[in-house]
Amino acid sequence: MAMPKETWPDWDIYVRDRCVCAYCGLSGVDQFETWMQLVIDHIVPRCTGGADNPQNKTVVCQTCNRIKGRYDPRKASNRPSSPSREELIGAVRMYMNERSGKAAYLPDFAQMMKEIREADARPPLALASPNPVSAEADVPKPR
């Protein structure tokens, strides 16, 4: 059953921003699978004092959301004293370009895949390593 739009957080933000990622331009318009990947970002992160209001919110894709992380665009060196929303979004785009966007995550991806392969290569017995507490708990008790 569909969620009533009145109870959907940030419905109006998605409509205002036309379901387009503010940082890379990925559009979820008429693209259901892409639309499903869109999330709301606080341009100035909440954790660094960003407001929880429409002016500080924007639609982004999950990839850009991950790359941006907790970056505070007010840290950009050429910032005006009272940066506009557009200037802050521009600063985030510059930051992401400097980090090479997705490519910056390739080493993390490689490391995680290596750890998964190593975990899969372990013999099954290694998973049942001796742990007196849980081993005892797993033994069915006679009734």
* 61 lies in the site for Zn ion, by CB under 5 A: yes
User: What character string, x for contact with Zn ion (CB under 5 A) and - otherwise, covers 81-120?
Assistant: ----------------------------------------
Rounded CA separation 69/25 (Å): 18
Rounded CA separation 115/134 (Å): 25
Rounded CA separation 22/4 (Å): 26
* 76 lies in the site for Zn ion, by CB under 5 A: no
Rounded CA separation 137/72 (Å): 48
User: What character string, x for contact with Zn ion (CB under 5 A) and - otherwise, covers 17-36?
Assistant: ----x-xx-x----------
Total number of residues that touch Zn ion (CB under 5 A): 6
Question: Which region among 42-50, 55-63, 97-105, 111-119 touches Zn ion (by CB under 5 A)?
Answer: 55-63
Least separation in angstroms between CB 21 and Zn ion: 3
